[in-house]
Amino acid sequence: MNKVFIILLVCFAVSINLYAQQAEEDQLLHSTPIPIQVTVGNQSTLYQMIFSKQFGNNNQYTFFNLSEYELSYESETPENYLIQSIFFYNINQNFSLGTGANLKAHGGFKPLIAGAYSFFNRNFDVVIQPSIELEKDGVGEVFVLLEWHPMKNKKVNPFVSIQGLTSYKAENGNHDFSYAYLKIGAQLGSFIVGPAVNFSEAGKGLYSQSNVNVGGFLRILI
């Protein structure tokens, strides 16, 4: 567990460093906050950070990091974590190709290649990111993030987030793992809070396991 926290801290430090390097440019263009989120439910608590930062000449490159750590309330349930880091080359404003790696509790360390479509404005965020791990026992997956956060110059603004992922084993095409995180909240400055429900399913057919985690979330934008 200590190794996982060290890796999470390293990812966070890299994200902060890239964020600081681009601070002046962000002031001229638009602010790109780092969302740190905690979802507390009836089954588990999920900690998550998603970081995406463009850098280089004409924002030619993007560093993407997704870090998750889920703590189950059942002592016999093993820890579950995911750390995904990808360096992208931006083909244009919306499409990118990249390479990186996954570090998973139940899959270990695996290099990957990925593509991405992204769209951002003051009201919407859209990310569609397929990837495949470069190992015989790796998985192919599609990550999707859709968020609505209208900026109406009010003290309190609405917020809706849909985050999903589905993955399949590369060697036989069997379902590996899928989830959907649904959130509806209110944004007050740098804080977003509201109800949340997380759906997840692992495995296939008779051996599949499903879980529903209902609770609330708090997101801090730094």
From 20-29, 56-65, 76-85, the region with the lowest mean pLDDT: 20-29
Q: What is the pLDDT of residues 12-29, one digit of tens each?
A: 445 445 444 444 444 434
Classify residue 173 by burial, with Cβ atoms within 10 Å: 0-12, 13-18, 19+: exposed
What is the chain's mean pLDDT, rounded? 86
> pLDDT band at residue 76, thresholds of 50, 70 and 90?
low
Q: What is the mean pLDDT of residues 53-57?
A: 90
Reply yes or no on whether the pLDDT at 103 is more than 50: yes
pLDDT score, position 2: 47
pLDDT score, position 113: 98
Report residue 86 as tokens.
């990808």
Percent of the chain with pLDDT over 70: 84
Domain boundaries, the chain: 2-221
Sign of CA dihedral 221, 37, 6, 63: negative
Q: What is the pLDDT of residues 165-202, one digit of tens each?
A: 999 998 888 999 999 999 999 999 899 999 999 999 98
Q: Which amino acid is at 71?
A: L
Please, which residues have CB within 8 angstroms of residue 31's CB and are 6 or more apart in sequence? Answer: none
Reply yes or no on whether the pLDDT at 44 is more than 60: yes
**Across 71-85, 111-125, 205-219, which has the greatest mean pLDDT?**
111-125
Check whether domain 2-221 has CATH 2.40.160, yes or no? yes
> pLDDT band at residue 78, thresholds of 50, 70 and 90?
low
pLDDT score, position 50: 92
Q: What is the pLDDT of residues 137-168, one digit of tens each?
A: 899 999 999 999 998 878 899 999 999 999 99
Q: Tell me if 89 sits within 8 A of 107, measured CB to CB.
A: no
Percent of the chain with pLDDT over 90: 64
Reply yes or no on whether the pLDDT at 58 is more than 50: yes
pTM value?
A: 0.82
Picking from 111, 145, 125, 9, the residue whose alpha carbon sits closest to that of residue 67 is 9
Chain centroid to Cα 74, Å, comes to: 24
